Amino acid sequence: MKLKCDREEILQALQMVQSIVSSRATLPILSNVLIEAGDEELTLTTTDLEVGMRKTIKAKVTKKGAITLPAKRLLAILRELPVSEMTMEATDQREIVIKYDASYFRVLGLPKDDFPPLPDFLKHRALKTPQKPLSELIRKTHYAISTDESRYVLNGLHLIFSKGRITGVATDGRRLALCEIAANVPEGFDRGIIVPTKAVNELGRILSGDGDAEIFVGENQAAFSANGCTLVARLIEGHFPNYQQVVPQKSEHKLLVDREELLAATRRVALLTSEQSNSIKVTLKKNRLVASSNTPEVGEAREELVISYAGEEFSIAFNPQYLVDALKNLDDKEITLELTDSLNPGVVRSGKSFLYVIMPIRVS
Amino acid sequence: MARIKLLPESVANKIAAGEVVERPASVVKELIENSIDAGATEIWVEVRKGGVSLVRVRDNGCGMGREDALLALARHSTSKISEASDLFCIRTMGFRGEAIPSIAAVSRMELTTKEPGALSGTRISAEGGKVGDVRDVGAPDGTEVVVRDLFFNTPVRRKFLRSERAETSQIASTVISEALSMPRIGFTLIADGEELIKAPAVEKSLDRISSLLGPEIAKGLLICEGKRGAISLAGFISGPELTRGTRADQHFFVNGRAVQDKILSFAIADACSGILPAKRHPVAFVFLEIDPSEVDVNVHPAKREVRFRDASLVRDLVRSALSGALGGSGMFRESGVSPFADAVREPEDGYQTKGGGGVFERAPIAPPTVGYLPWEGSDVLLDEKADRFRPIGQIRNLYIICEDAEGMVVVDQHAAHERILFEKVMAIHEKGKGELQSLLLPVSVSLSAAEAALMDGYRETFRSLGLGVEAFGKNAVKVDHLPACLGDVNPERLVRDVLGELMEEGRGRAVRDGIAEIVARKVCHAAVKRRDSLNAEQMQKLIDDLLKCVTPYTCPHGRPTMFRMSKAELDKKFGRT
């Protein structure tokens, strides 16, 4: 293998793929990045066996070949190089020399045969969809994914492909975020998958710009491709809970609320909660929404928002973080807050595409 | 006058009863095993009031003739062995000839039996071991033993029994364990008129596991097999997704006999180390078939323990068979899930909780040459406390090193956090007030009959601690809210862990507070973060909170939260004395 490439370009590519390399990988090969030189291009691949990531860039290849190198170390070297172009030449299966001017680095790696191959998705049919809405879908739902490892079906984002749309759902059993985007889903592509948290986060990173992303779904894996970068993820097997059943069919009160005002008020009121008493009270009064907290040994806070409301006065308590998570990831100026009473779930809607259900906190 | 006398048989029988018949569950066990030895294909067990007022075991086995039946009530009478050498190759469940007379000695017993083909059956009544009425009766084929008023003549033993509920739960565990060992025999358990267990005869162990412990458990099991010389093993073990906080769901069977054995438990722990998170135990069913001459079952009067001639061989077999199953390709989240499984087999990899050992992990840390100071009654310290502890830094995200006027103090951050949360949860419990986070979808937890019987009585205690459990069908509960301070925990695992601990520890505690404590301990255990890196402020806060606790020096499990090394000791280490 011998090639010449632009330092900035390979550095960016490596930064993109190295994030899934675990610093505590149990297998040494998983700390490495696979570097493959093909026709006029260079491909970098990393994996932790759950997620794999691949990025291709241009390079002047004089001799094809492949090798794996320690990802973090290579990244550190590339960061420090003072030049814009350098050559890389493999001297044998497990050694590479990086040269510029009169300087060189001889880096030891492992042969490429030890590297677990990523499954090939080209044979699958692709779903093409613009990146921007997909990236929004992820931003508006990812925070609700459960972090409790023992409930593994909830440790991911549930993506449902159906005619004309993609629906994303995430829940941790206490709140649920749902976002729908329009998409040209090909016939026969209908299905639901659960993409694990790590892959969701990586996917959020690779989506940028206005171009299309491609989605491939296999038996146990899925691949997402955008901007020359491909992410392959092992899917979570199992049945995602029936989320439709937790969405309240009807709420008594529908309120239009300024999103940023509510977000800011919630954040401020939450300052006077504690780990043990982590709830804020939302009280509806005539044309007022009052957010308040009252924590023994801490203090109390109260904020008022002007809204249009004419019903009976009542209160409901929420974990403020749950409200903040949703509100800060939305864009609309106004959201709809739907409440019934202090025991029934609260609902946040933004436009036609976003829905968020929060279970209240009760005080026994 | 001769001072040493031969004890009358009635006394000898009571002594034997003390060993064999420890509690109602032992009666159930002995009678079921007799039924199994009698070749029964259906066994019905009925108990009332925890088995104290009534235990009835009926089978459709071979029955006995009148003479045999009478003899059965005599001590050391058995059809199962005839000479001493038989003891070394026992193939039946029983052999000591102690069970029936021992049970009869401490109860009012009625034995009804009929051989197939005989015209009529025999019924023998006995009270306190004395045979009373013997007569012919009409009866179905097989044997029925009715034991009433257990321990009526040994009031002390009676006093040592646990609550009816606990005894019923123990009986259910016994029946489950026997039923697991004999899938081809149908088992029914009725307690106080309610059918707790109904396990129809099936061919495969896995079907039996499914009907006794629920299909969810059966689904989560991996098959393991192995053979070493004259010993063969067949069994099931759960992977990382189905684990328990205790070993209560590990069942061992040697030649069809349910046993408890440390060697086997250790072999399981060995097989799982590195695959399951620390302190979690897999659900396991291990069936060993071994040449009877290679194993001694005559170790324990109730035959709960066995001794292997070649223990290390058995241990190796169990360990290799189980770790083979756990480490087999694609174990993690069902077979063949990993797209990369072909290339690299690495079962541990999917599992993040286990700190993959870097070089630093294994670096030897100086042995703890200093014992921790219990600081009992050191009021001085409590008075001056917080501002005197200055955190310096963290070791491996586990321990916080602090400085105080007297030297160095090392705090176990996990234990400290546990103590803090524990006292907070207990405080909520005492005030009967807390914030409850409702769940979007109630989570159902299916229970074994034994767990369900236990849960029945403790539901209110669970609720008072903020764990919203409600009965959901016969052998399940539904959880619909949790204490809000817990954050993102798995409700199912929480409930199961608490129950598991109750099964193990419940005995003899002052129930309500005992339970509250277990729940609180589990609750905070679930919430505590283990390996968090903390900044200076967080460390200070943790230590301040800890010192505000009522008993800051131990965690809720009784381990120390901190120890001190005084300046003098440090000086000594460096030879500065």
Question: Are A216 and A197 contacting, i.e. CB atoms less than 8 angstroms apart?
Answer: no
Q: What is the mean pLDDT of chain A?
A: 91
Q: What is the mean pLDDT of chain B?
A: 75
DSSP per residue over B505-546, as a string?
H-TTS-HHHHHHHHHHHHHHHHH--SS----HHHHHHHHHHH
The structure tokens listed for A15 are 């930064």
- B299 or B266, which is more confident? B266
Question: CA of A82 to nearest chain B CA: how many angstroms apart?
Answer: 32
What pLDDT is recorded for position B217? Answer: 80
What's the Rg (C-alpha) of chain B? 28
Q: Which of A52, A149, A359 sits opposite B440 (nearest CB)?
A: A359
Decide: helix, strand or coil at residue B169. Answer: helix
Q: What are the backbone angles phi and psi of residue B129, rounded to the nearest 5°?
A: 95, -15
Average pLDDT over residues B185-203: 89
- Write out chain B residues lying below 8 Å of A317, CB-based: 435
What CATH code would you report for B386-564? 3.30.1370.100
B343 falls in which pLDDT band (50, 70, 90)?
very low
The structure tokens listed for B268 are 């399981």
Measured CA to CA, the distance from residue B208 to residue B215 in angstroms comes to 10
Task: Give the percent of chain B with pLDDT over 90.
Answer: 6
Asked whether residue B355 carries a pLDDT value surpassing 60, the answer given is no
What pLDDT is recorded for position B381? Answer: 43
Nearest chain B residue to A118 by CA: give it: B340
Q: Do A174 and B488 touch (CB under 8 A)?
A: yes
What pLDDT is recorded for position B377? Answer: 33
Model ipTM over 0.90: no
Question: Are B347 and B255 contacting, i.e. CB atoms less than 8 angstroms apart?
Answer: no
Asked whether residue B337 carries a pLDDT value surpassing 60, the answer given is no
- B437 or A193, which is more confident? A193
DSSP for residue A272: T
Nearest chain B residue to A220 by CA: give it: B337
Q: Which of A25, A171, A220 sits opposite B337 (nearest CB)?
A: A220
- Side chain identity at residue A315, one-letter code: S
Nearest chain B residue to A233 by CA: give it: B339
What pLDDT is recorded for position B510? Answer: 37
Q: Which helix (H) or strand (E) holds B404?
A: strand B399-404
Of B45-49, B91-95, B439-443, B464-468, which range is least confident? B91-95
Asked whether residue B84 carries a pLDDT value surpassing 70, the answer given is no
B337 touches A at CB < 8 Å: yes
Nearest chain B residue to A147 by CA: give it: B488
B362 falls in which pLDDT band (50, 70, 90)?
very low
Of A42-56, B12-26, B150-164, which range is least confident? B12-26
* Torsion over CA: B320, B321, B327, B333 (sign): negative
Q: Do B435 and A47 touch (CB under 8 A)?
A: no
Measured CA to CA, the distance from residue B456 to residue A269 in angstroms comes to 41
DSSP per residue over A50-61, as a string?
SEEEEEEEE-EE
Q: Strand B250-254: give its sheet, edge to edge.
A: B221-228, B231-238, B284-290, B250-254, B257-259
Q: Do A363 and B433 touch (CB under 8 A)?
A: yes
- Write out chain B residues lying below 8 Å of A115, CB-based: 343
B533 touches A at CB < 8 Å: no
Average pLDDT over residues A255-282: 91
What pLDDT is recorded for position B516? Answer: 60
Measured CA to CA, the distance from residue B522 to residue B463 in angstroms comes to 14
Measured CA to CA, the distance from residue B26 to residue B103 in angstroms comes to 9
- Write out chain A residues lying below 8 Å of B491, CB-based: 173
What pLDDT is recorded for position A74? Answer: 94
Domain B220-341: which topology? Ribosomal Protein S5; domain 2 (3.30.230)
Q: Give the burial string for B439-472 (b: 16+ CB within 10 Å, else e).
A: bbbbbbbbbbbbbbbbbebbeebbebbbbbbeeb
B338 CB neighbour count, 10 Å cutoff: 25
Q: What are the backbone angles phi and psi of residue B22, rounded to the nearest 5°?
A: -85, -35
Length of chain A: 364
Measured CA to CA, the distance from residue A69 to residue A42 in angstroms comes to 14
Nearest chain B residue to A345 by CA: give it: B440
Question: Are A54 and A44 contacting, i.e. CB atoms less than 8 angstroms apart?
Answer: yes
A94 falls in which pLDDT band (50, 70, 90)?
confident
Distances from the Cα of A296 to the Cα of A275, B520, B541, angstroms: 12, 21, 18
Asked whether residue A142 carries a pLDDT value surpassing 70, the answer given is yes
Task: Suggest the residue from A23, A24, A27, A150 to mutate for an interface test with chain B (most B CBs closer than 10 A).
Answer: A150
- B533 or B468, which is more confident? B468
Q: Do A149 and B435 touch (CB under 8 A)?
A: no
Nearest chain A residue to B464 by CA: give it: A364
Measured CA to CA, the distance from residue B100 to residue B75 in angstroms comes to 8
Q: Do A26 and B346 touch (CB under 8 A)?
A: yes
Asked whether residue B347 carries a pLDDT value surpassing 70, the answer given is no
Task: Suggest the residue from A27, A174, A235 to mutate for an interface test with chain B (most B CBs closer than 10 A).
Answer: A174
- Among A179, A222, A320, residue whose Cα is nearest residue A263: A320
**Contacts of residue A210, Cβ cutoff 8 Å, sequence gap at least 6:** A130, A131, A132
A32 falls in which pLDDT band (50, 70, 90)?
very high
- Write out chain A residues lying below 8 Å of B443, CB-based: 173
B494 by Cβ neighbours in 10 Å (0-12 / 13-18 / 19+) ranks as buried
Asked whether residue B537 carries a pLDDT value surpassing 50, the answer given is yes
Decide: helix, strand or coil at residue A47. Answer: strand
B344 touches A at CB < 8 Å: yes
Decide: helix, strand or coil at residue A144. Answer: helix
What's the Rg (C-alpha) of chain A? 25
**Contacts of residue B542, Cβ cutoff 8 Å, sequence gap at least 6:** B400, B411, B413, B416, B417, B420, B534
What pLDDT is recorded for position B80? Answer: 65
B349 falls in which pLDDT band (50, 70, 90)?
very low
Q: Which of A116, A148, A364 sits opposite B343 (nearest CB)?
A: A116
What pLDDT is recorded for position B95? Answer: 63
B364 CB neighbour count, 10 Å cutoff: 5
Task: Suggest the residue from B352, B441, B532 to mutate for an interface test with chain A (most A CBs closer than 10 A).
Answer: B441
**Contacts of residue A337, Cβ cutoff 8 Å, sequence gap at least 6:** A254, A255, A257, A262, A289, A346, A347, A348
Average pLDDT over residues B556-572: 81
Question: CA of A246 to nearest chain B CA: how many angstroms apart?
Answer: 6
A101 Ramachandran zone, left/alpha/beta (phi>0; psi -120 to 50): left
Q: Which of A150, A176, A362 sits opposite B481 (nearest CB)?
A: A362
Report pLDDT digits (tens) over B391-411: 888 888 788 998 888 788 898
Of B99-108, B110-119, B272-281, which range is least confident? B272-281
Report pLDDT digits (tens) over A67-83: 999 999 999 999 999 98
Of A163-167, A280-284, B179-183, B241-245, which range is least confident? B241-245
- Side chain identity at residue B547, one-letter code: L
A26 falls in which pLDDT band (50, 70, 90)?
low
Measured CA to CA, the distance from residue B504 to residue A196 in angstroms comes to 36
Asked whether residue A157 carries a pLDDT value surpassing 90, the answer given is yes
> How, if at all, do strands B284-290 and B231-238 pair?
antiparallel
Asked whether residue B375 carries a pLDDT value surpassing 50, the answer given is no
Q: Do A361 and B437 touch (CB under 8 A)?
A: yes
Q: Do B438 and A275 touch (CB under 8 A)?
A: no
What CATH code would you report for A2-114? 3.10.150.10
Q: Do B438 and A361 touch (CB under 8 A)?
A: yes
Measured CA to CA, the distance from residue B491 to residue B487 in angstroms comes to 11
* Residue labelled with tokens 């990025």: A55
Asked whether residue B339 carries a pLDDT value surpassing 50, the answer given is no
B364 falls in which pLDDT band (50, 70, 90)?
very low
Question: A32 - beta bridge partners?
Answer: A70
Q: Which of A276, A278, A359 sits opposite B439 (nearest CB)?
A: A359
Report pLDDT digits (tens) over A203-248: 999 998 889 999 999 888 899 999 889 999 999 988 999 989 889 9
Report pLDDT digits (tens) over B135-176: 888 888 899 999 998 888 888 777 778 888 888 888 998 899
Task: Name the segment(s) of chain A with CATH classification 3.10.150.10.
Answer: 2-114, 126-244, 247-358
Task: Suggest the residue from A23, A26, A72 to mutate for an interface test with chain B (most B CBs closer than 10 A).
Answer: A26
B259 CB neighbour count, 10 Å cutoff: 22
Task: Suggest the residue from B344, B482, B522 to mutate for an interface test with chain A (most A CBs closer than 10 A).
Answer: B344
Report pLDDT digits (tens) over B305-327: 788 888 888 888 888 888 777 76
Measured CA to CA, the distance from residue A124 to residue B209 in angstroms comes to 41
Q: Which of A25, A149, A172 sits opposite B356 (nearest CB)?
A: A25
Nearest chain B residue to A343 by CA: give it: B438
Question: Are B30 and B94 contacting, i.e. CB atoms less than 8 angstroms apart?
Answer: yes
Asked whether residue B570 carries a pLDDT value surpassing 90, the answer given is no
Q: Residues of B numbered 36-95 whose beta carbons fall under 8 angstroms of chain A's beta carbons: which are they?
A: none
Decide: helix, strand or coil at residue B572. Answer: helix
Question: CA of A6 to nearest chain B CA: how many angstroms apart?
Answer: 31
Question: Are A333 and B406 contacting, i.e. CB atoms less than 8 angstroms apart?
Answer: no
Nearest chain B residue to A356 by CA: give it: B440
Q: Residues of B numbered 245-264 whose beta carbons fall under 8 angstroms of chain A's beta carbons: which are they?
A: none
What pLDDT is recorded for position A130? Answer: 94
Nearest chain A residue to B437 by CA: give it: A361
- Write out chain A residues lying below 8 Å of B437, CB-based: 174, 319, 359, 361
What pLDDT is recorded for position B511? Answer: 41
Query: Measured over all CA atoms, what is the biggest interatomic distance in chain B, rounded to whole angstroms?
Result: 95
Question: A348 - beta bridge partners?
Answer: A337, A356
B62 falls in which pLDDT band (50, 70, 90)?
confident
Q: Residues of B numbered 226-245 whose beta carbons fall under 8 angstroms of chain A's beta carbons: which are they?
A: 241
**Contacts of residue B47, Cβ cutoff 8 Å, sequence gap at least 6:** B24, B28, B54, B55, B56, B168, B171, B189, B190, B191, B192
Question: Are B175 and B189 contacting, i.e. CB atoms less than 8 angstroms apart?
Answer: yes
> DSSP H helical segments within B183-280, as ranges?
205-213, 215-219, 262-272
**Contacts of residue B518, Cβ cutoff 8 Å, sequence gap at least 6:** B498, B501, B502, B505
- Among B409, B423, B428, B426, residue whose Cα is nearest residue B543: B409
> For chains A and B, what is the number of CB pairs under 8 angstroms?
129
Domain ranges of chain B: 10-203, 220-341, 386-564
Nearest chain A residue to B442 by CA: give it: A173
DSSP for residue A354: E
Report pLDDT digits (tens) over B432-487: 557 788 888 888 888 888 788 778 777 777 777 777 888 888 788 888 888 776 66
- Write out chain B residues lying below 8 Å of A170, CB-based: none
What CATH code would you report for A247-358? 3.10.150.10
> How, if at all, do strands B42-48 and B186-191 pair?
parallel
Q: Which of A241, A246, A319 sits opposite B484 (nearest CB)?
A: A319
- B111 or B246, which is more confident? B111
Measured CA to CA, the distance from residue B434 to residue A275 in angstroms comes to 12
B4 falls in which pLDDT band (50, 70, 90)?
confident
Report pLDDT digits (tens) over B279-293: 678 888 888 888 888
What pLDDT is recorded for position A261? Answer: 95
What CATH code would you report for A126-244? 3.10.150.10
CA B197 to chain centroid, in Å, comes to 19
Domain B10-203: which topology? Heat Shock Protein 90 (3.30.565)
The structure tokens listed for A36 are 């493959």
pTM: 0.59
- Side chain identity at residue A298, one-letter code: V
DSSP for residue B277: P
Q: Do B241 and A150 touch (CB under 8 A)?
A: yes
What pLDDT is recorded for position A267? Answer: 95
